[in-house]
Amino acid sequence: MREIADTGRLRLFCFFAAFIAGFLFIRFSVRMIRRQVRWWPGNVTPGGQHIHHAVFGLVFMIVGGVGGLAIEDGTSGWAAVTAALFGVGAALVLDEFALVLYLRDVYWSDQGRLSVEVVFITIALCGLMLLGLRPLGVDEVAGDGLWSIMLVLVFDACVAVIALLKGKIWTGVIGLFVGVIALVGAVRLARPDSPWARRRYSPDSRKERRARVRERRYRLPVQRLGDRLSDLIAGRPSAR
């Protein structure tokens, strides 16, 4: 813990740990409510109005965020507490990310898996930052002059954006930290239903056919594996 505090990452660590704990707790809670077990409290429904846990998450984020801004010492106990509050709040909000995006309750549908994927991406990004990596490699080029900084930032950002446009979310996001991963995603074929493919691959063209073959052969098995992991942690969708 001292090593984390000395490197200025105490608040990030507390956010990371609280985020994971908050996500696991709320998923356990909603699964118990879904099973209608008698010993677990049900939904919060004052006056018959169901209060989604994203509302509580927003409150935690406001308290933790504003409180964190008011604390100057980033290594103090209060700084850790406010970061943890913000982490719990972020977990509650992102757990209902799909609901916020679609503006309807898709929590237990296939679309609801998007929330779990966003949570996993957030955990991965925080983990990379705890390991000392920084987006776009800013730290590595900080002493090389303005032009070197601009060149690396523009190149890394461009290949990461291309990877994202090709429908490779994980590759693009992690590529912001490890540029070579984004570069690989940028030069390889796009996913067939991605914005890049719809714009640049003509229907029934050689690239479009190859992209669909790769999707069936490689992407779908990985997606099914990811869905099983998501269902194991977060619960299987019951509506399509």
List the end-to-end C-alpha distance of the chain, in Å, as a whole number. 45
Give CA–CA dist 170/115, Å, rounded.
14
- The single residue listed with the structure tokens 């977990």 is 91
Give CA–CA dist 189/211, Å, rounded.
6
107 contacts: CB under 8 Å, gap ≥ 6: 30, 96, 98, 99, 115
- The single residue listed with the structure tokens 């308290």 is 63
Residue 147 has a pLDDT of 67
Q: What would the pLDDT profile of 124-179 be if each residue is shown by its tens digit? A: 989 888 887 777 655 554 445 566 667 777 888 888 899 989 988 888 888 888 87
pTM attached to this predicted model? 0.83
Q: What would the pLDDT profile of 13-30 be if each residue is shown by its tens digit? A: 999 999 999 999 999 999
In contact, 130 and 102? CB cutoff 8 Å: no
